[in-house]
């Protein structure tokens, strides 16, 4: 009975996985299809006589946008970790006044729609000159990642043994030295988790990019794909190739950091 139940659950999981991943497969299939075969009826289920013309077009036309998205993502990672890790340290281990209230405010901040925040950023950036700039997008994307980072770091750091902190203070380490030499190394999984989510949010952002960098010379890949579809409705192989290339960094990072993400997300959930 147990084997039969496991087989049934496995088969059902395989079917659901195929259904969910079929759009990804079709995206890859179309990206390898010749332009002359795109309007066949019925279409080929497999890339017959595959071509890399779409990917050549991506490298020629979308490479600057990919570099821009990479710069925005890395900048968002650095800014998020630099702000959220010390903030969580102060809330969870330094008994900062109003820590619970601040956690609640951060939780509420994550519920604000991105469109509302984008309009506010637009009004501010027009006055201070950050419109159509990479720095402006990094700052805007970080406002989504920082609350998540503070909450995750707080949950993990609250579960750290207080004996380690006391031993560091006995050895003469100050507050900042304890954070950099003891707390931060122990929070490696949480750092990687926060960094990964911050990068993915910045990499896949479209609302802030379309509002704050529409007229910029350096556009992220999401805005590049949007403009590419609007200006090109015949070469769908190139459009799908752009989507495949834009999806690769996120997919690779998720596969590599999966173990650390699982440990970082569940850290602090169970306390001794």
Delimit the domains of the chain by residue range.
1-51, 62-266
Question: pTM for the complete prediction?
Answer: 0.82
Class of domain 62-266: mainly alpha
Q: What Å distances lie between residue 252 and 77, 114, 130, 191, 205, CA to CA? A: 17, 26, 32, 18, 18
List the chain residues with pLDDT less than 50.
268-272
- Per-residue confidence (pLDDT) for residue 272, from 0 to 100: 45
Q: Would you state the pLDDT for residue 77?
A: 95
Residue 122 main-chain phi, psi, to 5 deg = -60, -45
């Amino acid at each position: 009975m147990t084997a039969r139940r496991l087989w049934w659950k496995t088969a059902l999981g395989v079917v659901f996985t195929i259904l969910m991943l079929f759009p990804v497969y079709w995206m890859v299939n179309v990206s390898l299809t010749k332009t002359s075969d795109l309007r066949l009826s019925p279409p080929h289920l497999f890339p017959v006589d595959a071509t890399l013309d779409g990917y050549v077009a991506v490298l020629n036309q979308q490479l600057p946008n990919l570099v821009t998205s990479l710069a925005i993502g890395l900048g968002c990672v650095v800014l998020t970790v630099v702000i959220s890790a010390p903030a969580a340290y102060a809330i969870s281990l330094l008994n900062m006044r109003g820590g619970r209230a601040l956690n609640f405010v951060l939780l509420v901040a994550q519920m604000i729609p991105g469109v509302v925040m984008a309009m506010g950023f637009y009004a501010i950036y027009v006055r201070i000159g950050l419109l159509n700039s990479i720095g402006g997008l990094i700052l805007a994307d970080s406002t989504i990642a920082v609350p998540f980072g503070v909450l995750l770091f707080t949950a993990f750091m609250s579960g750290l043994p207080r004996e380690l902190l006391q031993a560091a203070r006995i050895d003469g380490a100050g507050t900042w030295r304890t954070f950099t030499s003891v707390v931060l190394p122990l929070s490696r999984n949480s750092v990687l988790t926060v960094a990964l989510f911050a990068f993915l949010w910045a990499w896949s952002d479209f609302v802030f990019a379309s509002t704050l960098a529409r007229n910029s010379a350096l556009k992220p890949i999401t805005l590049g794909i949007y403009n590419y579809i609007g200006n090109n409705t015949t070469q769908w192989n190139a459009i799908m190739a752009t989507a495949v290339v834009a999806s690769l960094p996120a997919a690779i990072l998720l596969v590599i950091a999966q173990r650390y993400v699982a440990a970082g997300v569940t850290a602090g959930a169970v306390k001794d």
